[in-house]
Chain A
């Protein structure tokens, strides 16, 4: 090893462990991508079910990973840099704390089970910045997990709440929540603005609000929106979790019919998921200064009211925060978001979470509608996860930063 180091750095090499090589074979034969065939020639005759470890240079790794993602074939990158591994072995002291080999791809959509493992892993590897807890149970009995981010210094820090996946089919939502956590933890050391946010604020992140619906959208119906609660006397299931809050409940823009996608439910907070979050936010109402709910699609940043055409009392501050957020978002890739009250910008709806949060005393209540504007709609390609999350990150950080100053508008 000493000899290798003497001649300069090794080229970065990777081993990709492919778990289901049979599935990859099928993909290769169907798509006829000869480049993969030549790359994996040695393994082609393999018929065993055990995972296959493939070794190649960095460029080829990236290219193969893209195809594996596209074919949705699970893989693990084992050694991303042989140099680093060698240095570790001979006791070279790196400034980065030794983390586990856990590699998580933030640029693909993950099923519920993987998100759950990921949350546990974040909790395990960042004990000084992360706390994982459950706020209740879904209709089908799944735990409702929330990640608390931020340095545990003062007990009465202001807090920001972010939830994703209220509506099951909006997969870019949970992808963003995961991205936010990743960015917050990874940039804490070297990004002073993030460090300031994490030191002065607590972030409560709920990566999947509607766990039952999300699971159902993976297993059965990609366009499912509501929860999965059973409704007496009706053969339809589910309530629109963004029409079930106790604020002008089931007025205009919500439906009393259980088979409708905007069904408000039999009564406010009938859904255990809604009830659990409402209970949590009520408990912490004095500290929570911003409520952010991530949805898709339309490219909008919305604030109250949803249920009526009226201006909120602190309109100047909220509108200014929205304008800054949308500018910050635009600065990433030039993507335009509209912003304004939900009732006029998108449509009138009643029983929404932003209206409830606002009524509950949270001065900044926002709903994001992420990319795109209808071309892919709910089926936003995984290749767009990175830019969508990057730009949205800027917007959310801007909103959070705004909380550290007093608004005098």
Chain B
């Protein structure tokens, strides 16, 4: 068992070194002389033991964040993004098929209203598969009273009506800007980007990652299709353990009825000397 853990940890540590995310074929990287191969880090002991986990420690929190990403992909909207408030209970166990399953009891809030807003109690099973190539975690989630929280239907509809018109060509960069400023008009677009980014963050997550969206680099409205708002986003994601900023371009659709769907995603290299996303 210990050998297996060590080998698995070695593999996952290798995946963390500078390279495109695990689920992508390496694209053509930035030009320049190839760097000497980095030396391999040594293996480390696995902290999390099977059984009850400390809810304030990072293994439980990372699993809860994955459940949050899942929640946002299903219930996020231009006027609602959920954030983690607290993990109450957590446990983990290795699974026969080769993976680790976390059982979580946690609370979430509507992130916009901060700690002032009402908290929703949720429970989730998060399974991190252990396969040779990375595959997305599997989440089963149940939140109490999800339907009872204040509906944003009115704002959703007003927003939809405003931007579904054929003349609408929203285009913006740097949301928020370096000083944290974000205009009120841009906030629903930021939330949509955050929800769309949740699809990517969910898919790319492992026990060794903890993702957040650092910023929306750009928003470009595309021609509406099948009564869906079509938006192309370039988002910057931040991963805690590696502290890396990862750039993704994605195409998403949204309508009040269908919610957010992500149609295309493309990892983009962040060349050291360039700050603008490559075209």
Can you spell out 6 A-B residue pairs with CB atoms less than 8 angstroms apart? A223-B236, A258-B35, A261-B245, A334-B115, A335-B115, A377-B238
A397 close to B (CB within 8 Å): no
Check if A72 sits within 8 Å of B179, measured CB to CB: yes
Contacts A260-B18, A340-B56, A347-B58 given; indicate if A255 touches B41 (C-beta within 8 A). Answer: yes
Q: Is residue B36 contacting chain A, with contact meaning CB distance below 8 A? A: yes
Inter-chain contact B115/A379, CB cutoff 8 Å: no
Judge whether B178 and A344 touch: CB under 8 Å: no
A335 to B215 Cα, complex, angstroms: 23
Residue B83 at the chain A interface, CB threshold 8 Å: yes
Please name all residues of chain A whose beta carbon is closer than 8 Å to the beta carbon of B243 when the two chains form the complex.
Answer: 225, 240, 261-262
Q: Is the CB of B58 within 8 A of A344?
A: yes
Tell me, in angstroms, the Cα distance from A252 to B272 when the chains sit together.
25
Q: Knowing A344-B58, A377-B214 touch, does A257 contact B17 (C-beta < 8 A)?
A: yes
The answer to whether B17 touches A345, judged by C-beta atoms less than 8 angstroms apart, is no
Cβ-closest chain A residue relative to B58: A347
> Is the Cβ of B214 less than 8 Å from the Cβ of A223?
yes
Instruction: Check if A381 is an interface residue, CB within 8 A of chain B.
Output: yes
> B272 to nearest A CB, angstroms?
5
Report whether B36 and A348 are in contact in the complex, using a CB–CB cutoff of 8 Å.
Answer: no
Interface residue? B226 (CB, 8 A): no
Given contacts A234-B35, A334-B115, A381-B176, contact A375 B83 (CB under 8 A): yes
Interface size on A, residues (CB 8 A): 52
B111 lies within 8 A of A375 (CB): yes
Name the residue on B nearest A260 (C-beta): B18
A378 located at the interface, meaning its Cβ lies under 8 Å from any Cβ of chain B in the complex: yes
Tell whether A235 pairs with B83 under 8 Å between CB atoms, given A260-B18, A347-B58, A376-B176. Answer: no
A257 to B32, CA, bound (A): 16
| Interface positions of A (Cβ within 8 A of B) | 70, 72, 108-109, 218, 220-223, 225, 233-237, 240, 251-253, 255-262, 298, 309, 334-336, 338, 340, 343-348, 373-384
Selected contact of B39 from candidates A256, A346, A383, CB within 8 Å: A256
In the assembly, what is the distance between CA of A340 and CA of B115, in Å?
A: 21
Among A218, A344, A346, contact of B54 (Cβ-Cβ < 8 Å): A344
Nearest CB on A from B271, distance (A)? 10
- Cβ–Cβ contact B32 & A384, under 8 A: no
Specify which chain B residues have a CB less than 8 angstroms from the CB of A381 in the assembled complex. 176, 179-182
Interchain CB contact under 8 A, A259 and B18: yes
User: Which B165-200 residues have C-beta < 8 A from chain A?
Assistant: 176-182
Given A377-B215, A377-B238, A382-B179, 20 additional A-B pairs, CB 8 A = A70-B179, A220-B275, A223-B238, A235-B33, A236-B35, A255-B38, A255-B242, A261-B242, A261-B245, A309-B47, A340-B57, A344-B54, A345-B56, A346-B58, A347-B58, A373-B84, A379-B177, A379-B180, A381-B180, A382-B180
- The answer for the CA separation of A262 and B17 in the assembled complex, in Å, is 10
Interface status of B157 (Cβ within 8 A of chain A): no
Please, which residues of chain B bring their CB within 8 A of the CB of A258?
Answer: 35
| List of B residues within 8 angstroms of A222 by Cβ | 178, 215
Which residues of A lie under 8 Å from residue B242 when comparing CB positions? 255, 260-262
Contact with A along B266-277 (1 / 0, CB 8 A): 000000100100
Q: Which residues of B contact A378 (CB under 8 A)?
A: 214, 238
Instruction: Tell me if B42 is interfacial: C-beta within 8 Å of chain A.
Output: yes
Q: How far is the CB of A170 from chain B (nearest CB, A)?
A: 11
Query: Is B44 an interface position by the 8 A CB rule?
Result: yes
With a 10 A CB-CB cut-off, give which of A240, A343, A344, A374 has the most chain B CB atoms. Answer: A374
